[in-house]
Amino acid sequence: MGLVADSANKALKETRGEPESRGRWLRAAICTRYGPPEVLELREVAKPAPGNQQVRIRIHATAVSVTDCRVRSDLSSAPFAMRFVARLAVGFGRPRQPILGSALAGEIEAVGKGVKRFAVGDRVYGYSGMRFGGYAEYVCLKETGGLLTGGLVPAPLNLGFAEAAAIPYGGLMALHFLRSANVRIGQRVLIYGASGAVGTAAVQIARAFGAEVTGVCSTANLELVRSLGAERVIDYTKEDSPGSNYDLVLDAVGVRKTSALKEACRNALVPGGKYMSVDRGAPRMTASGLLRLTELVEAGKLKAVIDRQYPLEQIAEAHRYVEQGHKRGNVVITVTREDDRLLQTP
């Protein structure tokens, strides 16, 4: 079932410090109650054993997403309609899975019975969905994904682990909405919030699909968005009209932020055009989607955008930064300690 076989909360035991027992334990950032970033604590928990059709992954890098921050804070910043359903999945009084983090990159360290797609030593990356478990040195996941688990696939050959960890969350979200809108060659697409994790991926993927892209962001991020392939970039702090005749307007920020320009975007569509928000619907985060992202990465059409990197010990600080709402692309957590070379591009 992910990181801990029976109940993750039962595994929250401190080690006694005996050197010979170190192989049976792992470091993890634990969230046993909802609250501010300070509720995240670095502890040692029991190392999981892979079950049937599971692999144990040694995680080298993970990422802090807006979703992670919402879950940690009791989903109080999530849209009202999403809260009840989300709490069914993550827990009402406290997180059902205390080790958060859904995007991850690492190596297969052990395989369970019946595993056919992976072998020990394989480099992988993936999205664990509501199973979480990414804020730890090891996690066990089903090789084929599942209802609450997005998927696991071989990592792109041209990315290091830190870059690979920055791809799944924003990449899968962007891919889902662009596919749902059937974006194709010659269409005009506007990405509101083009400098965040979803937005930076959406700009690049829409371009790869052949669309003409307009990005909306703040003054500080205009050049970044332009460098990702946007033909036009609009500064939402200075302009309040996006123009018109867009086939798709994708709100990559969500309902928690608005502006005069954002409201105007709703009326900037061609007849039959679509307005979509990342806070509406349930995005499909699948292994097949990850494979498509890998193709784009290896073809040079999608690159990881990383704002900051923090060690696992500074997970609370990383959450505080993400909650400010001004990150450029992704915030990555480096879990590997003894060899930072593993995190770099091959």
Question: Where do the structural domains in the chain lie, given as residue ranges?
Answer: 8-167+304-343, 170-277
Q: Is the dihedral of CA 17, 18, 19, 25 positive or negative?
A: negative
Helices assigned H by DSSP within the chain: 66-72, 80-90, 161-165, 168-180, 197-208, 222-227, 260-265, 287-298, 315-323
pTM recorded for the entire structure: 0.87
Instruction: Give the pLDDT confidence of 71-86 residue by residue, as tens digits.
Output: 888 765 555 555 555 6
Q: What is the pLDDT of residue 79?
A: 56
Q: What is the pLDDT of residue 340?
A: 56
Sequence-ordered strand ranges (E) for the chain = 25-31, 40-46, 54-64, 103-111, 123-127, 138-142, 151-154, 188-192, 212-217, 232-235, 246-251, 269-277, 306-311, 330-334
Fold match between domain 8-167+304-343 and domain 170-277: no
Per-residue pLDDT of the chain (346 residues; tens, 9 = 90+): 333 333 344 444 432 233 333 468 899 999 988 899 999 999 999 999 999 999 999 999 999 999 899 888 876 555 555 555 566 666 566 778 899 999 999 999 999 999 999 999 999 999 998 889 999 999 999 998 765 567 899 999 999 999 999 999 999 999 999 999 999 999 999 999 999 999 999 999 999 999 999 999 999 999 999 999 999 999 999 998 999 999 999 999 987 788 889 999 999 999 999 999 998 877 888 999 999 999 999 999 999 999 999 999 999 999 999 999 899 999 999 998 655 556 666 6
Q: For domain 170-277, is the CATH number 3.40.250.10? A: no
Q: What is the pLDDT of residue 150?
A: 72
Instruction: Give the pLDDT confidence of 142-195 residue by residue, as tens digits.
Output: 998 765 567 899 999 999 999 999 999 999 999 999 999 999 999 999 999 999
Q: Domain 8-167+304-343 belongs to what topology?
A: Quinone Oxidoreductase; Chain A, domain 1 (3.90.180)
104-131 in b/e form (b: 16+ CB < 10 A) is bbbbbbbbbeebebbeeebbbbbbbbbb
> Closest by alpha carbon to 132, among 282, 277, 30?
30
